[in-house]
Chains A and B, each alone.
Chain A
Amino acid sequence: MRIGILALQGDFAAHARMLERLGLRLDPRAGQAPSPGDHYAWVRQGEDLQGLDGLILPGGESTTQLHLLRRQNMTDQLREYAASHCVFGTCAGAILQAMRVIHPRQESLGTLDIEIERNAYGRQIDSFAASGQWREKLLPPSAAPAPEMIFIRAPRILTCGPEVEVLARLDQEPVLVRQGRQLAATFHPELTTNPRLHQLFLNMVHDSLNPGRREAGLLA
C-alpha cells in the first residue's frame, strides 16, 4: 500500500507521524531498491499522484493550499484523483473536499457532498478540544478510548448530502463524515497520539484495493 500526503503547506508531517505509528515508512527515493511493506510519499506536484492508493489532505491554511494548487494547475488533477481513490481530509483538507465552501466562498475540489463554513467557531482564542459522540459502529464503547477531537480555527459542516454518512458529532453537528471513498474530519486526529482514524482510513484504502472482502471502514 502507498499513501500520499499533500505536502504543499500545513501539518503534513503530523499525518506522517500517524502513518509511521501504523507501520508505514517514507517511500524510498527513486533509484533506491524498494523496501518491503507499506509506504507513504509526499505529494507536491501533479506527477507525485501516480501510483498512490490513497491520499491525505492535511490541515493548514486552505487559501494557501488552494493558491499553490491553482498556480501549479494541480486542482483538476487532484479532483480527478479524488473521484476514483480514497481521500482523507482534516480541517483545511475537508474544506478542499467540500462541494460548497462559505465564509467566504472559495473554490474547492467538490468531491464530498457537504457545505462547510470556514473559521466557524471564531479565532484562535476560540480553538478547543472535545470528546464528541462517535457512531457505535465506528467505535464501540467497549473499544479503546476514542481519539480526542482538537478543533483549531475549525470549519463547521452545515449540510450533508443524502449519501453522506455521519460518523461522529459534536453537539449534534457532524464533525467526521464519509461518502464512498471520501473521509473528512473538521478536527485534527493527527495532532493526538491516537491513530485510530488513520487506521480507519487505511482500512478504507485496503478495501478499495480488495473489493468485496468486507464492509469498508469497520475498525479491526
Chain B
Amino acid sequence: MENQEFQLKTGLAEMLKGGVIMDVTDAEQARIAEQSGACAVMALERVPADIRREGGVARMASIRKIREIMRAVTIPVMAKCRIGHFTEARILEALGVDYIDESEVLTPADEAYHVDKHAFKVPFVCGARNLGEALRRIAEGAAMIRTKGEAGTGDVVHAVRHMRAIMAEIRQLSVLPAEELYGHAKQLQAPLPLVQQVARAGKLPVPNFSAGGIATPADAALVMQLGAEAVFVGSGIFKSDDPAARAHAIVRATTHYQNPDVLLECCEDLGEAMRGTEAAALKPEEQLQSRGW
C-alpha cells in the first residue's frame, strides 16, 4: 500500500479533507459550486434525485459535458463510471478527470466484479456501507472511501448508519487480540493484511468521506462529527431553492462542524431544502446502496 503511486492517489484525497465535493450537471453549476467554496465537483449527466425519478439506464456522463465542466473550473473534477465498467474508467482516465467514482448511483455493468483500480493511474473513490465493503474496495485499489448512504433522497439516515457502522467496526477491531483478527477477516470478507493494518492504526488506510442524502448544513456537520473527513453533496444543493447560499452554508458548516454558533449562522436565511424522499419508504429494489458486492 505504501508505494509512491498510491501515495499520490491518496494525496489528492488528503487535499480535499475538510471540504465539500458537489454534484454538478453543467458549467454554470460548476462555477456556482467553485465560487461557493466547493473543494471539488462531480460531473454528472443527471443528479441522483433525477436518476431516481426518471429511471432508465444511468451511465457515465457525456464526454462533452464533463469536458465543459473541466474547462469551467480550476478545482478538481471527478466523474462517475458504472460498477465494474473498466472501459468507462479508461475513457475517463484518458479524458484526464482528477478522480473516478465507481458508483452505485449508476446502473452496474458487472454483477460480480468491481474495477481493478490498481491498474489505473487516476485515483478512485468507492462507496461502502460497512468496514468489510470498504476494505474490499481498498484491496481493489480505491484511494478514498465514502459512505453510500442513499443517494438522491435528501434523507441522511443511511449515511449516518454507514458511517456509524464503519467507525464502530474499526473501534472493535482495534481492541481485538491478534489471534482473533484472522477470524474477523473472514467475517468481514476482507484481506487479512488490511484488517491487521486497520486494527493497528485505528482508522482506514485511505481517507474516509461521507455521501448519500446530505442536504443541509446540519447534515454535513453531523456526518463530520461521526468521523467523516469530508462530505459529498449530490442532489441537495442544486435541488434546493437557493443553490449558491446553500452550497456556501454547507461548506462553512463542514469546516466549523464543532462550533454550534457558526452552525446556527449557517442555517439562517437558507430557503427550502430539497423536498426529498424518506429512505425508509423505499422498496428494497429501489435502494441504490445494495448495488456493489
* Contacts from A to B (Cβ < 8 Å): 7-14, 44, 59-61, 63-64, 67-68, 71, 91-92, 103-104, 118-119, 122-125, 127-129, 150, 152-153, 188, 191
CB-nearest residue of chain B relative to A190? B14
Q: How far is the CB of A154 from chain B (nearest CB, A)?
A: 10
CB-nearest residue of chain A relative to B20? A64
Q: How far is the CB of B227 from chain A (nearest CB, A)?
A: 13
Q: For residue B18, which residues in chain A have a CB less than 8 angstroms away from its CB?
A: 7-10, 12, 60
Complex Cα gap A59–B11 (Å) = 10
Sort A-B residue pairs by CB-CB distance and give the 4 closest, nearest first: A124-B98, A67-B37, A11-B14, A61-B39
Known pairs A60-B18, A64-B37, A64-B38; A44 contacts B251 (CB<8 A): no
**Number of interface residues, chain B, beta carbon within 8 A:** 36
Q: For residue B93, which residues in chain A have a CB less than 8 angstroms away from its CB?
A: 125
B74 on interface, CB distance cutoff 8 Å: yes
Q: Which of A67, A128, A191 has the most CB of B within 10 A?
A: A67
Complex Cα gap A213–B256 (Å) = 40
B34 on interface, CB distance cutoff 8 Å: yes
- A11 with B15: CB separation less than 8 A: yes
Complex Cα gap A216–B12 (Å) = 32
CB-nearest residue of chain B relative to A58? B15
Q: For residue B14, which residues in chain A have a CB less than 8 angstroms away from its CB?
A: 10-11, 14, 59, 191
Complex Cα gap A10–B74 (Å) = 16
Known pairs A123-B96, A125-B93, A153-B12; A63 contacts B122 (CB<8 A): no
* Interface bits B116-141 vs A (CB < 8 Å: 1, else 0): 00000111000000000000000000
> For chain B residues 59-108, which have a beta carbon within 8 Å of chain A?
74-76, 93, 96-99
Complex Cα gap A11–B207 (Å) = 11
- A91 with B15: CB separation less than 8 A: yes
- A127 with B248: CB separation less than 8 A: no
- A61 with B75: CB separation less than 8 A: yes
Known pairs A124-B98, A124-B99, A191-B7; A67 contacts B15 (CB<8 A): no
Other-chain contact of A44, B7, B8, B98, B256 (Cβ < 8 Å): B256
- B11 with A125: CB separation less than 8 A: no
Q: How far is the CB of B21 from chain A (nearest CB, A)?
A: 10
Q: How far is the CB of A175 from chain B (nearest CB, A)?
A: 16
Complex Cα gap A59–B75 (Å) = 13
- B7 with A13: CB separation less than 8 A: no
Complex Cα gap A11–B15 (Å) = 5
Q: Which of A7, A9, A67, A153 has the most CB of B within 10 A?
A: A9
CB-nearest residue of chain A relative to B37? A67
Q: Which of A10, A59, A63, A124 has the most CB of B within 10 A?
A: A124
- A9 with B248: CB separation less than 8 A: no
- A9 with B39: CB separation less than 8 A: yes
CB-nearest residue of chain A relative to B122? A125
Complex Cα gap A13–B229 (Å) = 10
Known pairs A44-B259, A153-B12; A63 contacts B74 (CB<8 A): yes
Other-chain contact of A118, B74, B76, B99 (Cβ < 8 Å): B74
CB-nearest residue of chain B relative to A66? B37
Other-chain contact of B255, A9, A92, A124 (Cβ < 8 Å): A9
- B36 with A61: CB separation less than 8 A: no
Q: How far is the CB of B81 from chain A (nearest CB, A)?
A: 15
B19 on interface, CB distance cutoff 8 Å: yes
Complex Cα gap A12–B7 (Å) = 17
- B7 with A129: CB separation less than 8 A: yes
Q: For residue B206, which residues in chain A have a CB less than 8 angstroms away from its CB?
A: none
